[in-house]
Amino acid sequence: MIDDRLRRPTTTTTDDAPAGADQPKTDAAGRISFRTRIVLALLLTSTLPLAVFGLIVFAAELILGRQGADAVASQVQLFAFAVLVAVAVFTAFGLASELTTPLRDLAASVDRVSKGDLGDPIVVAGDDELARLAESHNRLASDLERRNRELGSILEAIDQVSPRDDVDAIVERVGPDAVAAFALIDAVVIMGDPGTIGLEEVVPGVSRPLRAVMRAGGADIGVLIGRLPATRRWEPADQDLFELFASAMAAAIRNAQLFATVESQNRQLLDLDAAKDEFLRGVSHNLQTPLTSIRAYAEQLDAASPDRRLGIIAEQSERLSRMVRQLLTVTRLESGALRPRIEVVSLATRVRKAWEGLGVDGVAFELRDASDGWLAVADPDQLDQVLWALLDNAIKYGGGAPVTASLAVDEEARRIHLTIADDGPGVAETDRWRLFRRFERGSASVSDGGSGLGLYVSRELCRAMGGELVLAAAGERGAAFTVMLPGETGEEP
């Protein structure tokens, strides 16, 4: 923010400053130069007492005569001498203090100026050396004050531009701001290469052209030109201030340009993201709708005349549906748009249903439920995706060996642990670190047709639900994954 001192009004003081109080005295001595006054004062203090002493001695001799009054006369002379010395000392003091008053005022005033108080001019009448000194001091102070004011206006102008402002609006306001800050006749910003913008000649007596290059980020983006009234002085310090203003405004314009660019890119990205969402919705719709029909008709036919092949059609279409959904989940994970819908679910039921949904023949499945009535607190849809992926993996890598799912409760952490274990080749030590990465799978089997997304998606989903997915065991044989989810005891309250 802007320092208040910079904005103080031009004249503020009516206080009893020494300079003002001494005005009449300096007026009285106004016509005589300072040097003359010092000469007069020195002469006065050195010669006047001597002259008076001479007069007194002369008068005493006239009055007392020559006869026999020597003792009285010398006493009178001694007394007169003493009185005159005292008078001379006092007169010298008086004159010295009279003569140095303006000097002390000047010193006090310079002191105030250096402390930032530019309000009071020193008034010294006449045109002696002291008056000229006071005048140049006053001019310095008023210049300082004017530049302070200009700097204040500049800071205020800078303060009022925000990178969110329209670039053109900022460009347009720089001119008026410059006019206000520097008391110019007019000013305007011309955007473009400064080299192409011609210089104006300075003609005495006519308004003076001003010019400052607008430089930001190492590039010249334009020129600030203006006209100064012919009567105004324009010193290098003023030009410096003018250029400072131009470069600050150039930076503001540059920021606004960058901000606008970022904003528009942002909008583009949002548009693209929305378009992507819409596209995925369309893809999903266009795939899921026929898959729904296929499965439903297959189920209807199977119900009418049971045929194992119809069951396979139904299961495979279901499988395709799940893969489509998994892809949707991946894109949502990437865009951070995944929002779990937390409900209360029985993990045991959900696992059993997921296993049935996979429609596997010839693989034994065992569910060991030690959850003691605890229920998981999770998003049912997302949980299903995790279960399908883990069970599918267990079947795929288990090579026909039994798959077991076991449920246990960590009462202290209020979590339910579900461990799904297969009896396959397990996960090689070298593969473990990349198991949960996207598009990775165990090197043991390459041509399994999986997407390589299952574990990645599952772990992310578990985490989104406030849980975790870890590789629990990876021995010589078999892999086991443990899903940990928030849980609650199922007791009646």
Partner 1 sequence: MLGGGRVYRILLVDDDANMLALLADQLRADGYEVSTARDGEEALRRLRTSWPDFLIIDMMMPRMDGLSLAREIKNQADLPIIVLSAIDAGDSKADLLEEVAEDYVTKPYHYPELRARINRVLRRLGDKVPRKSLILGPDLTLDLHRREATVGGQTVQLTPTESRLLYALAANLGQTVPTETLLARGWAETEDADPSYVWVTMRRLRQKVEVDPNRPAHVQTVRGIGYRLVGAVGRDGEVGAEGRPAL
Counting Cβ atoms within 10 Å, is residue 81 exposed (0-12), middle (13-18) or buried (19+)? middle
The residues in 265-294 that bind partner 1, with binding defined as CB under 8 A, are 277, 281-282, 284-285, 287-293
Among positions 186, 381, 410, 411, the unique one binding partner 1 when judged by CB under 8 A: 381
Residue 390 CB neighbour total at 10 angstroms: 27
Q: Cβ 304 to partner 1, closest distance in Å?
A: 12
Quote the CA–CA distance of 283 and 317 in Å, as a whole number: 16
The residues in 62-91 that bind partner 1, with binding defined as CB under 8 A, are none
Q: What is the dihedral of CA 137, 142, 147, 151, to 10 degrees?
A: 120
Among positions 60, 174, 212, 375, the unique one binding partner 1 when judged by CB under 8 A: 375
Q: Cβ 210 to partner 1, closest distance in Å?
A: 55
Quote the CA–CA distance of 454 and 488 in Å, as a whole number: 27
Q: Cβ 339 to partner 1, closest distance in Å?
A: 6
Q: Cβ 383 to partner 1, closest distance in Å?
A: 12
Q: Cβ 375 to partner 1, closest distance in Å?
A: 5
Does 491 bind partner 1 (CB under 8 A)? Our answer is yes
Which one, of 474, 323, 470, lies nearest residue 397 by Cα?
474
The nearer residue to partner 1, 138 or 326, going by C-beta atoms, is: 326
E strand or H helix that includes residue 324:
helix 308-335
Residue positions counted in the chain: 493
Q: Cβ 488 to partner 1, closest distance in Å?
A: 5
Q: Is 421 left (phi over 0), alpha (psi -120 to 50) or beta?
A: beta
Residue holding tokens 């324009």?
234
389, HSE (Cβ side, Cα atoms, 13 Å):
30
Q: Cβ 462 to partner 1, closest distance in Å?
A: 14
Among positions 208, 295, 415, 459, the unique one binding partner 1 when judged by CB under 8 A: 295
C-beta of residue 128 within 8 angstroms of C-beta of residue 33: yes
Among positions 22, 105, 145, 318, the unique one binding partner 1 when judged by CB under 8 A: 318
| Cα angle value 231/236/239 (rounded, 5°) | 80
Q: 109 pairs with which residues across the strands?
A: none
How many residues bind partner 1 (CB under 8 A)? The answer is 45
Among positions 26, 109, 138, 382, the unique one binding partner 1 when judged by CB under 8 A: 382
Contact string 320-349 vs partner 1 (x = CB under 8 A): -x---x--xx--x----xxxxxxxx-x--x
Q: Which residues contribute to the site for partner 1 (CB under 8 A)?
A: 277, 281-282, 284-285, 287-293, 295-297, 317-318, 321, 325, 328-329, 332, 337-344, 346, 349, 353, 373, 375, 377, 379, 381-382, 488-493
